[in-house]
Structure 1
Amino acid sequence: MHSRKPFYIFVALLFIVGIAASVYRGIEHKVPFVPGEQVQSWSVDAKVSFSGRGKPAEVSFSLPQDPAFDVLVENASSPGYGLNITDSTENRRAVWSIREATGPQALYYRVTLVPTGKLDIVEELEPAPPEAYIWPVTEKLAAEQIIDDVWGRSATNLSFAQQLMGLINDTNQSQNMSLLLATNSATKLFLQMLHSKGVPAKPVSGLLLEDQRRRQQLSDYVHVYNQGKWELFDVNNNKQGRGQNLILWEFGDNSVLDVIGASNSQVNFSMLQETRSALATSIDMLSNTGTLDFSLYQLPLEEQSTFKGILLIPIGVLVVVFLRVIVGIKTSGTFMP
């Protein structure tokens, strides 16, 4: 009699592979395990407005690239304008261009974002130290006194940044701090002080997502590198860390909006929170990333229905075998002994 051990091992391997594939798609691509599951998404509209001067104009606008949000759908409305989107790994931008722009102009960009929950930004390799900020003569002595005092009372980049932010927002400020804040914004001063000690830090523009809000502006934040991770500081509000509804729109020193050949440029944001099917959202995301090539949902709808019926056959077989072996009901046909 032949051993059935290889057969059992093969069945076990198939079972493990199937479970592993389901778990992987559930964790990595957010494919739901139960029907009817819902997810929250955000629709964000950006309106770029400016005044044309009757000559060629070019508008460059930064696009979101935050690991905490996946871009589900994005499109732009720009009648009469040429549009080019650069998909750089570090700096995605939309560039509109036209031969002649006269009078008030408006360009629109819309994006649907799905939260991923990946709020931490990790970087294993430590960034190169920034160039030391050169203080004006009138501010140099006051800045050096504050920086040296705080540096001596800190142990890491994080503690140094925390104490600096506390001093900037202290209600009982010293004369030196008042002098520095008279000519610098709180965020700019915070960044300059960090660079003075070679602490890796960079400005960040972020948008706080609130349902049904209009004409919102980007806020200034600072990323401070500490032990393999970028820590976010909201100096204006004396807060550290980021919430679930904050999207980081632009990283580094790049400007959010550049306009050539026009004036009075500005950008406003409107946003709306929506509820979507988790399955439809995951399918759209997989289609965007090109990882849906061997999925059932890549087939036409007619074939999808056929294959869904075929996939029910193993369940039917299992039910019949249970009734035959455990319950004792007699069966015939394919499942007859």
Structure 2
Amino acid sequence: MKRLHLTLLVLGLLATSLALVVYKVNVLGFPLKPAQTVDNWVVEARVAFEPSGGALTARLALPDDPPGFGILDENFISRGYGLTTAQQGENREAQWTTRTPSGRQVLYYRATVYELNRERPAPPYPGPVSVPDYDEPYRSAALALLDSVRDRSADITSFASVLVSDLNSPAPDENAALFIQRNASDADKVRTTIELLAGARIPARMVHGITLTDWARQAAPLAWLEVHNTREWVPINPHTGTAGYPDNFLVWWYGDREPLLVDRANRPEISFAVTRNIHDAIDVAEQRAQLMDSRVVDFSLFGLPVQTQNMYRVLLMVPVGALIIVLLRNVVGIQTFGTFMPVLIALSFRETQLLGGIILFTLIVSLGLAIRFYLEHLKLLLVPRLASVVIVVIMLMAGISILSHNLGIEQGLSLALFPMVILAMTIERMSLVWEEHSPADAIKQGLGSLAVAAVSYLIMINRQLEHLIFVFPELLLIVLALTLLLGRYTGYRLTELLRFRALKAP
């Protein structure tokens, strides 16, 4: 039962940790690599008009959950205007109102968007549309064209694609040529296609959007076609008939309408501009979590003050170092002084660097051990003896720092970062092993402690690992699970296999 309990506990820890990590990566977009950036675009709509007198209302179509993108932030620049946003049919609109405008008016809408591929709820099927009442000869040509397209298509999507291809063919047949207008705009082409699709009772609509580029002062909206295949709206290129939107195409509004509608105003104008930015992926993920009202970020380390965050970037690596010690002691069989002393020494190596830290640690422990042997002759009690060792260690650290500074060796200044109490306990423990066992055992454990500290340091300074632990602290549950599993390890240690290799059967 106890073994089953441990197994269930470990599986629960692993499942919880992995579930949180997968959610934060796939849903919120937290990066798995340090210093990772995310592309986003700032799109701006500039609205200008001249009031003609009286109360004024200006309505602007806004992006609303555009496919393939998410909206991080929105700003409205409209001093002196009342502002409301509401859903009007298929579009979301901003409505500016004012009572007594004077002079030319300029309003701005600005949004920050980023790529976001997610499952969208399936829209309801609008049902078959009514067949238009074509006049002759358009009626006969439309029916003949639709019959020809139907024979060469397999479903609604391919029907629309074949029809668009026929209308854009360099050598159209006589039926398609009747509906082709010379120098027709994209919107005119889409209108013609929608009218012909209605002859086959296929629901279709016009979509307007802009292409997100690195920089565009004047981004012209593009008209696109969408048809409903009874399950979802499928975008169709009005020039080629291919399904799908082009890369970086931001859907702005739906329907055959103008994006800007202004009452009591002359010469209304609207222009679009685009610029590309690069933001830190973590900042974007935090904003995304706020927009999604996710409670996960409320319990993240990013809400702490920066100084506290920097402290936890170091502290969160201690469990990793503890796991390394458990592995090296219980599986490999390396002997050390104490359990956590190598981890604390490894943390000190972060400032002193590895080689300098090993030299300083060896020097201070050697000098302290000599002083400890001298104190043994004074026959002191345990607590005063430990206190004396701490005092001597601090004096030695200060003396070495002063000497190294005068010699121009700046690494010696970081000696103050060594945990002095741990150094004192190491000296005391080493002296006891020296007296009770042998100098060889004391030196072996001292070298083992340095080796474990060095391995822990090399792992704990890994930038990728530090990033993962700080951004996904739930990974410590995996560290805990592995530690619990190693706590039940009762097999041979690697050093014991070498030690007793002579007993191996021939």
Q: TM-score, normalised by structure 1?
A: 0.88
Instruction: Give SS of 1:250's match.
Output: strand
Deviation of 1:142 after TM superposition, in Å, equals: 2.9
8 Å contact 1:122–1:230 — kept in the other structure?
A: no
| Structure 1 residues 23 and 158: alpha-carbon distance in aligned structure 2, compared to 1, 3 A threshold | same
Q: Which residue matches 2:28? A: 29
Higher RCO, Cα 8 Å, sep 6+: 1
8 Å contact 1:122–1:228 — kept in the other structure?
A: no
What pairs up with 1:128-277 in 2 under 5 angstroms? 128-137=127-136, 139-182=138-181, 185-226=188-229, 228-236=231-239, 239-253=242-256, 255-277=258-280
Deviation of 1:334 after TM superposition, in Å, equals: 6.3
8 Å contact 1:122–1:229 — kept in the other structure?
A: no
In the aligned structure 2, how far is the partner of 1:169 from the partner of 1:69? 30
In the aligned structure 1, how far is the partner of 2:340 from the partner of 2:169? 82
| Structure 1 residues 104 and 207: alpha-carbon distance in aligned structure 2, compared to 1, 3 A threshold | same
What pairs up with 1:44-55 in 2 under 5 angstroms? 44-55=43-54
Deviation of 1:70 after TM superposition, in Å, equals: 0.8
Q: Which residue matches 1:78? A: 78
| Structure 1 residues 294 and 148: alpha-carbon distance in aligned structure 2, compared to 1, 3 A threshold | same
Rg comparison, structure with higher value: 2
| Percent of pairs with identical residues | 27
In the aligned structure 2, how far is the partner of 1:204 from the partner of 1:175? 28
* Residue 337 (structure 2) pairs with residue 331 (structure 1): yes
In the aligned structure 2, how far is the partner of 1:90 from the partner of 1:162? 24
Of 326-335 and 161-170, the range deviating more from structure 2: 326-335
Q: 5+ residue gaps in structure 2?
A: 342-428, 430-486, 488-506
In the aligned structure 1, how far is the partner of 2:47 from the partner of 2:316? 50
Of 12-21 and 190-199, the range deviating more from structure 2: 12-21
| Structure 1 residues 243 and 153: alpha-carbon distance in aligned structure 2, compared to 1, 3 A threshold | closer
| Structure 1 residues 38 and 12: alpha-carbon distance in aligned structure 2, compared to 1, 3 A threshold | same
Of 312-321 and 199-208, the range deviating more from structure 2: 312-321
Residue type of the partner of 2:316? L
| Structure 1 residues 171 and 322: alpha-carbon distance in aligned structure 2, compared to 1, 3 A threshold | same
Of 93-102 and 169-178, the range deviating more from structure 2: 169-178
In the aligned structure 2, how far is the partner of 1:331 from the partner of 1:88? 73
| Structure 1 residues 220 and 333: alpha-carbon distance in aligned structure 2, compared to 1, 3 A threshold | closer
Deviation of 1:268 after TM superposition, in Å, equals: 1.0
| Structure 1 residues 51 and 137: alpha-carbon distance in aligned structure 2, compared to 1, 3 A threshold | farther
Residue type of the partner of 1:245? N
Q: 5+ residue gaps in structure 1?
A: none
Instruction: Give SS of 2:194's match.
Output: helix
Alignment counterpart, residue 325 of structure 2, candidates 295, 309, 320: 320
User: Over residues 62-121 of structure 1, what are the superposed CA-to-partner deviations in whole Å (9 max), with x where a residue is unaligned?
Assistant: 111203111111101112211112268953221111112334221111111111145x97
Query: How many residue pairs are counted as aligned between the two chains?
Result: 335
8 Å contact 1:166–1:238 — kept in the other structure?
A: yes
In the aligned structure 1, how far is the partner of 2:112 from the partner of 2:38? 13
Residue type of the partner of 1:297? F
Q: Which residue matches 2:281? A: 278
Q: TM-score, normalised by structure 2?
A: 0.60
Residue type of the partner of 1:330? T
Of 177-186 and 155-164, the range deviating more from structure 2: 177-186
In the aligned structure 1, how far is the partner of 2:22 from the partner of 2:242? 37
In the aligned structure 2, how far is the partner of 1:89 from the partner of 1:71? 20
Bigger fraction of residues in strand: 1
Q: Which residue matches 1:13? A: 12
